[in-house]
Amino acid sequence: MALEIIPIIIKKEIQKGDDLAKVFLSNFKGVQEGDVIVVAQKAISKQEGKIVDLSQVIPSILAVGIAAEYGKDPKLVEVILSEAQRIVRMQGGVIITETKHGFVCANSGVDESNLPKGFASLLPDDPDRSALTFQSKISEITGKKVAVIISDTFGRPFREGQTNHAIGIAGMRPINDYAGKKDSFGKTLRVTAIAQADELCGAAELVMKKSANCPFAIIRNFDYESANESIRSLLRPKSSDLFR
């Protein structure tokens, strides 16, 4: 069957404490067994209260210095630093960090888009747990076994533009490992491991977009293996990273 990608547009802004499963199901009634539900990080962050009022932030001396050099708001820089475990690189006004979760991305994932002026969103504390909570509620209410991926937009080394990446997962393997299988010529594959969770997030973004009030998308007819794994499977360890 052909792969389907179904956008779920909602009629309200998500607020702290909302039941995301009920918000989702009130806008879409047709969940099917095996669906993959992609949820925008911003929806999770809003629901979990991971929104910062920048007017309440007191910037450190380091944040003030970086902000002055790069023409940024020192309060925003302070939030970026507080969400980072290390600064990877700063150049041309861009701050690349490694977050507390282990993600390497711009601005520690701190984002001011789709929020009132003066506010910024942070990444969820534990995106895997957030995905599992949402998945469990959907399955409980509908009786259907589904997988859930939380997505966020990251840039990529050596490539222009941004794509959506998986930052949390529940109910499926984030990587489809072909090692040990045969290719079409009968040769044994050794190192081919497809980051299918990231690819699904990129596909979902084509219909979710950035300003369509569409925090959910369903990917249907995708063949995946059910599993209880962490998104950390997608994070390359330092021992095999040639660029650290």
Quick: pLDDT tens for 93-137.
889 999 999 999 999 999 998 889 999 999 999 999 999 999 999
DSSP state string for 133-158: HHHHHHHHHH----EEEEEEEEEETT
Mean pLDDT lowest among 1-15, 47-61, 167-181, 215-229: 167-181
From the candidate CATH numbers 3.90.1660.10, 3.40.50.300, 3.40.50.12780, 3.30.450.20, the one assigned to the domain spanning 52-120: 3.90.1660.10
Given a cut of 90, whether residue 206 has pLDDT beyond it is: yes
User: 110 and 100 in contact (C-beta within 8 Å)?
Assistant: no
Q: What is the mean pLDDT of residues 221-226?
A: 94
Question: What pTM value is reported for the model?
Answer: 0.92
In the chain, domain spans: 4-49+124-235, 52-120
DSSP state string for 72-136: --HHHHHHHHHTEEEEEEEETTEEEEEETTS-EEEGGG-B-TTS-TTEEE---S-HHHHHHHHHH
Q: How many helices (H) and strands (E) does the chain have?
A: 6, 12
CATH fold of the domain at 4-49+124-235: 60s Ribosomal Protein L30; Chain: A; (3.30.1330)
Q: What is the mean pLDDT of residues 21-38?
A: 95
Split at pLDDT 50, 70, 90, the class of 52 is: very high
∠ at Cα 211 (80, 159), nearest 5°?
Answer: 60
Per 3-state DSSP, what percentage of the chain is helix, strand, and coil (rounded to 5)? 30, 25, 40
User: 115 and 4 in contact (C-beta within 8 Å)?
Assistant: no
